[in-house]
Amino acid sequence: MIVQRRAVSAVLATAALLLTAGCSSDGGGSPGGAGRTPPTGTAPGAPPSGRATEPAPPAKGSVKVLRTVAEGLKTPWGLAPLPDGGLLVSSRDDGTITRIDEKTGRTTELGKVSGVSPAGEGGLLGIALSPDYASDHMIYAYFTSASDNRIVRVLYDERKPAGEQLGAPDTVFKGIPKGVIHNGGRIAFGPDRMLYAGTGESGERGLAQDRKSLGGKILRLTPEGEPAPGNPFPGSPVYSYGHRNVQGLAWDDKQRLFASEFGQDTWDELNAIKPGADYGWPKAEGRSSDAAFQNPIAQWHTDDASPSGIACVDGVIWMAGLKGQRLWRVPLRGTEAAAAPQAFLSGTYGRLRTVVAAGGDRVWLVTSNTDGRGHPKKGDDRVLEARVN
């Protein structure tokens, strides 16, 4: 039985925010009104001791979409910027990786990742460049196979013809539970050069609390796929647990990890991740009075978010919303939200899957309207460049 987490009192003038409830897996349905001006999402709770010592960004910000970088993409999911300015994007359903010329928008298919078995929310999901990409040219990919979710690495050889530039996959890590829903899929190398992966509980709720299971976790691995040194549970890849479906990972400038998480019927979450912490699912959803569980720093009713990718820019978390069809701004003070979440682009571009820091005050945004749950328009899906503050 879920312990309903209680929304705490706001301490900011932007205070109490009310939302309509809904169901959130990978975020189906329509947005709650294009152009609707929030505030929505719940305001942060009382500041912990010492929180006021860290400065916070302004409570309010802005977003301006500068251009469409590329369009006509099919089920794009992960995005990885290349050192030379190009962009790599994965296709969930086709199992391909495509290179986008950031200046011209020209797309070139590198090839298919062998072994991808797309179904439901599964397929070729997150991608990340090796921390030694300049010398090894390896791309890491998280995908659903016929038997599990796994992480592989493939060599990218630009000298070969288009469509043949990806080498055979080298399996780095396997055995993550798969399902029609809740496959997680976001991967990223942290400031410590370790590989982090957000997984889902594949619809088997009990896996999230089972520390021996790889489902419903954030994993921390070496680039070779071994449990990373310093993990909270010796010999285990598990970094945190009690998650339902993690699809967003990002670090702030002090190397603190944040993650987004799909709720079920009540609350989606943005969490500050602590090694070894229990985030409550399926015993809790959203804020809880149970001290055994780590509370989110912000939460949303599921119609307004269904969060996927996140990025941190100048002390602000930017969170892509699928069902919510908007980009959320959450300013940070340490590991707490410093002000109420603010929404942008409500309904303008449809479902938003991925947001990636692009340097300075810019981000890349990836739409997700061709995934079977959106309403594609001419030109979907797209990669956008936006200025944020």
Model confidence at 44, pLDDT cuts 50, 70, 90, reads very low
How far is 184 from 153, CA to CA, in rounded Å?
Answer: 18
pTM value is 0.89
Report pLDDT digits (tens) over 3-19. 444 333 333 333 333 33
pLDDT attached to residue 26: 73
Q: Quick one: pLDDT band at residue 28, thresholds 50, 70, 90?
A: low
Nearest 5°: phi and psi at 351?
A: -70, 135
pLDDT of 25 reads 54
Residue 62 pLDDT grade (very low, low, confident, very high; cuts 50, 70, 90): very high
pLDDT at 87 over 80: yes
Three-point CA angle 359, 319, 354, nearest 5°: 70
Over residues 97-116, mean pLDDT: 98
Residues in a beta bridge with 119: 122
pLDDT at 318 over 70: yes
The count of C-alpha atoms lying within 13 angstroms of the C-alpha of 240, restricted to the half-sphere facing its C-beta, is 25
Strand-strand pairing, 3-4 and 284-285: parallel
Nearest to 343 by CA among 58, 37, 43, 31: 37
Instruction: Give the pLDDT confidence score for residue 53 in this predicted structure.
Output: 80
Ranges of each domain in the chain: 3-388
DSSP string over 194-230: -EEEE-B-TT-GGGGG-TTSSTTEEEEE-TTSSBPTT
Residue given tokens 């469509």 in the structure block: 163
CATH ID of 3-388, from 3.40.50.360, 1.20.1530.20, 2.120.10.30, 3.30.1370.60: 2.120.10.30
